[in-house]
Every structure is written in structure tokens, then in C-alpha cells.
Amino acid sequence: MPTLRPRCTGVTLIELLIVVSIIAVLATIATPTLGNLRQAGASRSARSALAVAINQARISAATHRKTVVLCPSADQSSCDRSTRWQDGWLVFFDDNRDNQHDGDETVIAASQAQARG
């Protein structure tokens, strides 16, 4: 009676190279898509943060019955003349209504530059 020897199966080098090639192609295709998703998430986060600042300014103005200013600000201590909101912003009570933050005016909120996607 012949003894049955278990048959060892494995993968050949060709099969392994094909699988690695397929993985490399899929990774190449997926990389730009992941970058776009990250950029979209950062953009959504920045819009959300600005919306929160707008609501915070509105609520503070109504609650305290004072003039509140929301302005772009790169240094979070003074208003910029630019419209670069991505550099950050400043929300403060404008007691003298000059649309500029003076040292004695209360800062409600300040935001630093938003992360680039």
C-alpha cells in the first residue's frame, strides 16, 4: 500500500510579483484621493470654526448689548486690513466703535491660522 505524502502548496515568485504589482498600482491610485479627503476635511473644519466665531460674536453682542467686531487677524491682537481669514481672526467688544482692537477692549475669541490641507 503506497503511503500518501501530503502535498505542499505555496506561491511562485511570479504570483508574488503580480500581487505586489497590483498593490503598488492600487496604492498609487489611492494616494491622491486620500490627499483630497484630507484637504476637504481641513476646509470643512475651517468653515465650521469661522461659523462658530460668527455665532459667538452675534450671541455676545445680543447678550451684552455692545458692539462686537469680528475681523481677520494674523496676530490675534489687532485687526488686519486684508481679507485673509485663513490667517486667523479676532472677536472683541468694540467699546469706542472704531473697528480696531484697543488694549482695553475685551477679546471674546481669537483663532490662529487654520491648518493647510
pLDDT for residue 2: 67
Query: Alpha carbon of 25 to those of 8, 21, 34: distances in Å?
Result: 31, 6, 15
Q: Is the entire prediction scored with pTM above 0.85?
A: no
Phi, psi angles (nearest 5°) of residue 69? -115, 135
Asked if 91 and 107 count as a contact pair (C-beta separation under 8 A), the reply is yes
- pLDDT by residue (tens digit) across 76-111? 889 998 888 888 999 999 999 999 999 899 999 999
pLDDT for residue 34: 76
- pLDDT by residue (tens digit) across 32-71? 877 888 888 888 888 898 899 999 999 999 999 999 999 9
pLDDT at 112 over 70: yes
